[in-house]
Amino acid sequence: MSTPFDYTLASARDALRARKISARELTEAHLSAIERLDGSLNSFITTTPENALKAADAADATLAKGEGGELCGLPLGIKDLFCTNGTRTTAASNILRDFVPPYESTVTSNLLRDGAIFLGKLNLDEFAMGSGNLNSAFGPAINPWKRNGSDEQLVPGGSSGGSAAAVAAGLVLGATGTDTGGSIRQPAAYTGIAGIKPTYGRCSRFGTIAFASSLDQAGPMARNLQDCAILLRSMAGFDQRDSTSVDTPVPNYEAALNRGVKGLRVGIPKEYHADGMPAEIEALWQQGINWLRDAGAEIKEVSLPHTKYGLPTYYIAALAEASSNLARYDGLRFGARVKADSLDAMYEASRAAGFGEEVKRRILLGTHVLSSGYYDAYYLRAQKVRTLIQQDFLKAYEDVDVLLTPTAPSSAFALNEKPSDPVQMYLNDVFTVPASMAGVPALSVPAGLDGQGLPLGLQLIGKFFDEETLIAAGHVLEQAASFTHRPTIHAGNPA
């Protein structure tokens, strides 16, 4: 090992246990990398170095006794959507700029239980609403990757853009993300890392600031699937405090890594050949098909006929839920208040000042589709179409075990290339949204670089609670792609 930044989460875990490096050394190295590089990435909203060093010393004491949980001494970043007891949690919104939760989310408390060290809270689109991390009250997070021969700033994707940027740049060994319509997978693809959106109900939503409750799902983001598997095992599990949490055992995902794909039936959904998709992405997809076939998988074309309706259905369902969830920010019990003479004026002024443009647009659209006279035409219809979308997947799974698609229809775009039309922006999620609508698990792995030198991802979508097969198939892709490229900005690069 030449530098602490050559470790993966898994190899760091082994090195800590073998006492080849201390948790303090590992934590200090990552904290100093954040200090050095995060000025150009803006991936953190809040850093917690004192707490991290204290936790590192405690981890070293535990490790010295030959004890410690699975994640003991491993430095992670936490998307600033997970409530952390005593540490400011903002959802990248002005309305929560000074919010300090008096409790811990279930996902982060599971990670702490297993000994993880939190370096801080990571940037995101405000309330996880966006696909470029451009909608943050704390400024955009920046992708550590650059186009060949260009210094232009690119988006890391969103909404888990800070998580993606921090992992890709080596500032943390892994991070939590949340995925409502693609917010783990699309940024993972844009930054050349791996990310898993588990089955809906696999990770508790308790203490995760809600966007669209029937879709929100936490998951891991890390440099490879082994690392994601280790994190997911810790994050997942039944929780009484989330009524949609599913009481089913959490397997050892890491053990599934080398199962291979011999005899696995892999579906290629024909509707995902989107109009105007770059030839490079089509070619990478074909490459992925070949990789799986060469490893012994059986490839079948399948049809998901309602794919094109995924995005409009998503925007109705998610925005309706968001308008309801975000009603709690009233300037009264927590969050920023703007004083006014009447209660209604106080609500209106507090919410006008506290929410950003995209969040307001989404709350208003959600309110509109739920309002009297429009409910049946929009919201009820969307829920029915959602049934059709889920049936597409369940029908496909009668013939295949997993589906292979590109993760996103493009590579990362520049900050100033943001489409002015919101609908164009929403199209980034065209391949990730349908799995979210169905509630099935999906992951993204880095599979290659495009002609501009930017990473591209492949997505695998699986059956309910069959993350293990996804991880096994994803690992075959990882090994075939042997993606070892590093971004321009990386902690391990010579300064």
Q: Residues 317 to 356: which contact another protein by CB under 8 A? A: 323, 327, 330-337, 339-349, 351-352, 355
Catalytic residue among 183, 234, 323, 444: 183
Please say which residue, 61 or 353, places its beta carbon nearer to another protein: 353
Q: What is the spatial distance between Cα 443 and Cα 214, in angstroms, rounded to a whole number?
A: 19
Q: Is 436 a catalytic residue?
A: no
Q: What is the spatial distance between Cα 83 and Cα 209, in angstroms, rounded to a whole number?
A: 7
Does position 105 bind another protein by CB under 8 A?
no
How many Cβ atoms from other residues are within 10 Å of residue 372's Cβ?
5
Among 312, 418, 486, 490, interactor with another protein by CB under 8 A: 312
Contact 99, 83 (CB under 8 A): no
Catalytic residue among 22, 79, 146, 197: 79
Does position 77 bind another protein by CB under 8 A?
no
Does position 246 bind another protein by CB under 8 A?
yes
Q: Interface with another protein by CB under 8 A: which range of 50-58, 67-75, 186-194, 238-246?
A: 238-246
Contact 462, 401 (CB under 8 A): yes
Q: What is the spatial distance between Cα 311 and Cα 13, in angstroms, rounded to a whole number?
A: 40
CB 246, min distance to another protein, A? 5
CB 315, min distance to another protein, A? 6
Q: What is the spatial distance between Cα 162 and Cα 193, in angstroms, rounded to a whole number?
A: 13
Does position 84 bind another protein by CB under 8 A?
no
Please say which residue, 360 or 490, places its beta carbon nearer to another protein: 360
Alpha carbon separation from 292 to 39, 296, 474 (Å, rounded): 40, 7, 9
Please say which residue, 1 or 345, places its beta carbon nearer to another protein: 345
Residues 423-462 that bind another protein (CB under 8 A): 423, 438-439
Q: Is 183 a catalytic residue?
A: yes
Does position 299 bind another protein by CB under 8 A?
no
Does position 303 bind another protein by CB under 8 A?
no
List, edge to edge, every strand of the sheet that includes 174-179: 44-47, 117-122, 75-79, 174-179, 217-222, 194-197, 442-449, 455-461, 402-406, 265-269, 298-302
Using the 8-state DSSP alphabet, how is residue 430 labeled?
T
How many Cβ atoms from other residues are within 10 Å of residue 494's Cβ?
4
Q: Is 79 a catalytic residue?
A: yes
Catalytic residue among 159, 160, 163, 350: 159
Please name which of 219, 205, 411, 395 lies closest in space to residue 302, comparing C-alpha atoms. 395
Residues 371-390 that bind another protein (CB under 8 A): 371, 378, 380-388, 390
User: Which residues are known catalytic residues?
Assistant: 79, 159, 183
